[in-house]
Amino acid sequence: MDVIGGMTDTAKQKVLEAFNEMKNTQYRTIEDAVEEYGAAYVFDCWLRHEGIIGYTRQSITSMHFATN
For 10-47, the pLDDT digits (tens) are 989 999 999 999 999 999 999 999 999 988 888 888 88
How many residues are listed for the chain in this entry? 68
- Residue 15, burial from CB neighbour count under 10 angstroms (0-12, 13-18, 19+): buried
pTM over 0.85? The answer is no
CA atoms within 13 A on the CB side of 11: 9
Per-residue CA distances from 3 to 13, 24, 59 (Å): 14, 23, 10
Query: What are the domain boundaries of the chain?
Result: 9-67
The predicted pLDDT at position 53 comes to: 73
d(CA 40, CA 38): 6
d(CA 48, CA 36): 19
